[in-house]
Amino acid sequence: MTSDEPGVCRRVAMVSVHTSPLAQPGTGDAGGMNVYVLESAKRLARRGVAVDIFTRRTSASDAPVVEVEPGVLVRHIAAGPYEGLDKEDLPGQLCAFAAGMMRVAAHSPEGHYDLVHSHYWLSGQVGWLAADRWDVPLVHTMHTMARVKNLHRAEGDALEPRGREIGEAQVVEAADRLVANTEDEARELIRHYDADAARVEVVHPGVDLDVFHPGDRSEARVAVGVPEDAVLLLFVGRIQPLKAPDVLLRSAATLVRRDPSLRGRLVVGLLGGASGVAVRTPMALDRLAEELDIADLVRFVPPTDRDTLATWMRAADVVAVPSHNESFGLVAVEAQACGAVVVATRVGGLPTAVGDAGVLVEGHDPHVWADAIEAVLDDPERAGELSRRAVERSRAFGWEATAQRLAAVYEAALTTPRRASIDDADVLTGIPTAVTP
C-alpha cells in the first residue's frame, strides 16, 4: 500500500473496460454505469482518494491519459481495434487490456495502487488479475447480472451467454468486497451467485443535485420546444428491448384512443440512442409509432448533455421508466430530483429508487400503464404532491453520500484478510454454476 496507516486508501485503480466514463450516456453501451464511475471517482478524489480509471481506447484521437479534475485520471488502454468491436467481442481483448494495465503499473512506484475497483463482469476479470498481481484487494460492482437479465429479459432480447455467467461467478468468488446498488441486488447476488453475504455491501448510486434540481416548467418547455399546454410523456435511456420504450408508445396510443382530444396536445419524447442488440437489429420505434397512428405525436431526441437532459425532465408531465429490469434506475432518481412524476416498473432497484414518491406499475401491459399515467394526468393535486415528495426523496441520493460509503467499503477491504488467489481451483472453475429460479 502507499500508506503505512492500516485501512487508508490513497489511490484506486478503477476498471471500466467496455465503456468510457467520458462517453455520452444514452447511446451505444454508455449509460448509468458511465455516470456512476465518473461521478463516484470525482467525489472520492475530493475526499483525498485519487482514482485512475482504466478504459478501452476506442478512437485514435483518445489521449493516453486525460485528467478529468485533480485526482481523477482516465487512462485509455489499447486493446483491439479502436472501432468496430461490439461488447460481445471484448472477452477476446481482456488479455491485451490487462497487459496494458500491467505496463502502467510497471512505470509507477511500487505499491502505487492500494485497491482495484472493477465495474461490470468484463472489468471484473481484468481487475481480478490486477489485484492478484499487485497483492491488493478487489472490490467489484456488477451493475447487471446475466442470470438476473435472463430471468427478466424482454421479448426480442437474446439470452446472455453462458461464458458471461461463468465469468461473473468467478469474479463474485474472487472479490474481497461486492458492491450492490440496492438491497434487492444484494439478495440477487446471494441467491443467484451464492455470494458470501458478509462480503456484500449496499451502496446506492447518487445524483448530481447541482444539475438535476427543480425549475420553472414553462421556461423548460420553451427551451426544448414543447408547447406550454402540451401533455409531455418522456422516456430517457438507451433504445433497447430491456428498457422497453415501446411500452410508452403503446400506452400513449391507448390514451389517445380513450380520449381523442389528447391528439392535439400529447407529445411523446424518446430521448436516447440505440444500444446492444438494438444497434444491429433496431427496435424500429418510428415504424411502431406509425402502426399505432401516433407518429405525429412522437419526438425522437438524440442523447444530450446533462443540463439539457435536466431541462427535458423539468418540462415533462410524466417520466416513464418501463424497464424489464434495472439494478438501480439512475434516470428515475435524476427525474425525481427535477421534480418530475416518475411512473416505473416494479422491478429490480426501481422500487428503491422511486419509493413512495412516484408510481410503480406491475408488468408491461400498455393498458395498465395507460391507467397509471392517466391517473397522474387527471389528478393535478396528486401530481403536485408526488413532485414535492420526489424532490425531497432525491436529496438522500447525492454522490457525496455514495463516495463516503464507498470509502468505508475500501477501508473494510483493506483491513480484512484477502480472498483466494488467482490459482484457487474453485475460483478458476467459476463455481457455483447453478441458477436459483
Write out the binding residues for UDP-N-acetyl-alpha-D-glucosamine: 24-25, 32, 238, 243, 326, 334
- CB 21 within 8 Å of CB 34: yes
Q: Which three cell numbers stand for residue 276?
A: 446492444
- Kindly list the distances between the CA atom of residue 99 and the CA atoms of 4, 78, 102, 280, in Å, as whole numbers in the listed order: 28, 10, 5, 30
Q: Is the dihedral of CA 267, 273, 274, 276 positive or negative?
A: negative
Binding residue ranges for 1D-myo-inositol 3-phosphate: 18, 29-34, 87, 120, 144, 164
User: What is the C-alpha separation between 279 and 84, in angstroms, rounded?
Assistant: 12
User: What is the C-alpha separation between 325 and 55, in angstroms, rounded?
Assistant: 26
Residue 148: CB partners within 8 Å, gap ≥ 6? 188, 192, 325, 348
Chain position carrying cell 443535485: 209
Listed residue (247, 239, 206, 282) closest to 25, CA to CA: 239
Listed residue (181, 169, 155) closest to 435, CA to CA: 169
Residue 214, phi then psi, degrees to nearest 5: -65, 160
- CB 312 within 8 Å of CB 212: no
Listed residue (145, 118, 183) closest to 325, CA to CA: 145
Chain position carrying cell 457525496: 400
Q: What is the DSSP letter of 273?
A: -
Chain-centre distance for alpha carbon 84: 23
Residue 156, phi then psi, degrees to nearest 5: 95, -15
Ordered strands of the 65-69 beta sheet: 65-69, 72-77, 50-56, 11-16, 115-119, 138-141, 177-180, 200-202
Binding residue ranges: 18, 24-25, 29-34, 87, 120, 144, 164, 238, 243, 313-314, 316, 326, 334
Binding residue ranges for Mg(2+): 313-314, 316
Ramachandran class of 421: left when φ > 0, alpha when ψ lies in -120 to 50, beta otherwise: beta
- CB 270 within 8 Å of CB 298: yes
Q: Is the dihedral of CA 365, 369, 372, 377 positive or negative?
A: negative
